[in-house]
Structure 1
């Protein structure tokens, strides 16, 4: 079961059109102009081909040494964390090698980040929280993840309840996630009792495992609502709530938009959800 993206976090890059299927007139025009410029450059023989990514790699390593994590760079450039990480090391699967070529546009965005202008900062905690939960789904307790991330094991649960965390902390959790997601907890000194208890707790809370996030590609997207192991009724209820809370529709209008009877929407929402006309 796949979840649907809703509103893009911003409308100043092609991301909203490509990843979120945004069709605002100004976003469509931005995409059209980019395609027109690309076709014209191809026709004129001036299209920029891929260039050597080594300067970008060295820049990322220098930023990391100055306390600016790859996670922070991704946040500042509006890029996906994996899309930046791949220029410094292999992908999540060892079969995906480190990229040694890069487009001039992406290189320019990364090279524009200067340590003296940015400085370490805080980032949204959504991706970090989801990584810890995904590891729990395959048996890794939060305390073990915390130690691997360089954190105090007793602080992990409190830390991940916060809306933002230090970029360096997010980087540590992302590194631990990359390291543990293909390892067996049982074969790495996690007792059977603890691993089973951790998996059961994750299952009860319906925390998606790493495989789910690989397929969705949205582990760092706070606007993405996972639908892991939700029933069709639960998904419909979520859609109805979104239409009413964000879209401003009444319950009757939401039912019509979803192609369902008002009585069915009433049932899936349940009595705890305040009725709308």
Structure 2
């Protein structure tokens, strides 16, 4: 299914309510519980004020330099990786600056991570692959991206298709993405023909640019998120209808209503894209 613009990447943090204006009942309840708890603590004089985030930022820089990614830190601390990244770099897509103050609890969790206890291994390459592809969609050649992080050009080309990479590589590509995404290749030594050829290659493979990922916060690293960039409307309807029918058990009329299109549009989309229709039929027979 296509993720709505400004959809929260999670629904288990206060940022869902405060930053993404989510008003799901459970998210509103979570915020209200936090607010009441804070009010009681303030009244009792036990509320802990925010602390300077500089020590946390310095510690994160050390972890990142050793190849420990924000996603690995999220696994260890339970703190959302987006919040972790904001300690060291702003989120330009959302207009959010670097975190300067944080809660004592968050600071303690991050500062408790000891580098000697962690050995960077191989991690899922979804985010790395999509970042490389996004830069290519803006005209950055894969070989240049590789040389930018000190990687052989030949190996760098494989990153657009890898399933797993080392943690150091994932972190290096993430940093390169944040640095290069807002720069124009032609103003940084890349010739016009090379830029055009790179963009054409990316368009042929439906590689989504950074602007697309900005519309889906957190999705660039989510292996379960299926990007719909570059697909024709009929293809999107076919894929979404297939998902609703096979996963949610809806019939075609119900799927059409959910997608806010006509039953005719669903039938035509599945007819024009028989691979989705065939998959839907197999699922229905199996059920």
Give the TM-score category using the shorter length: 0.7 to 0.9
1:136 is matched with which residue? Answer: 136
Determine helix, strand or coil for the equivalent of 1:165: strand
Counterpart contact for 1:68–1:120, Cα < 8 Å: yes
1:265 is matched with which residue? Answer: 266
Determine helix, strand or coil for the equivalent of 1:272: helix
Question: What stretches of structure 1 of length at least 5 have no aligned partner?
Answer: none
Distance 1:123 1:45 in 2: 44
2:13 is matched with which residue? Answer: 14
1:93-104 equivalence runs, <5 A: 98-104=98-104
TM-score scaled by length of structure 1: 0.78
Counterpart contact for 1:131–1:173, Cα < 8 Å: yes
Superposed displacement of residue 44, structure 1 = 3.6
Aligned length: 272
Superposed displacement of residue 77, structure 1 = 4.0
C-alpha RMSD over aligned residues:
3.7
2:147 is matched with which residue? Answer: 147
1:165-176 equivalence runs, <5 A: 165-176=165-176
Q: Say which is worse superposed, 32-41 or 216-225, in terms of deviation.
A: 32-41
Superposed displacement of residue 54, structure 1 = 1.8
Counterpart contact for 1:54–1:100, Cα < 8 Å: yes
Distance 1:16 1:252 in 2: 36
1:158 is matched with which residue? Answer: 158
Counterpart contact for 2:9–2:217, Cα < 8 Å: no
| Structure-2 change in CA distance of 1:15 and 1:86 (3 Å) | closer
Determine helix, strand or coil for the equivalent of 1:47: coil
2:247 is matched with which residue? Answer: 246
Superposed displacement of residue 125, structure 1 = 1.4
1:186-241 per-residue CA deviation (whole Å, 9 max, x = no partner) reads 12222221110111222233322223323332222333333435444333323212
Q: Say which is worse superposed, 45-54 or 130-139, in terms of deviation.
A: 45-54
1:11-33 per-residue CA deviation (whole Å, 9 max, x = no partner) reads 8x4389657969697x8876664
1:27-71 per-residue CA deviation (whole Å, 9 max, x = no partner) reads 887666444423433444433332111221232133235442445
1:214 is matched with which residue? Answer: 214
Determine helix, strand or coil for the equivalent of 1:151: coil
Distance 1:124 1:16 in 2: 25
Distance 2:21 2:191 in 1: 42
1:75-86 equivalence runs, <5 A: 76-77=76-77, 79=79, 81-86=81-86
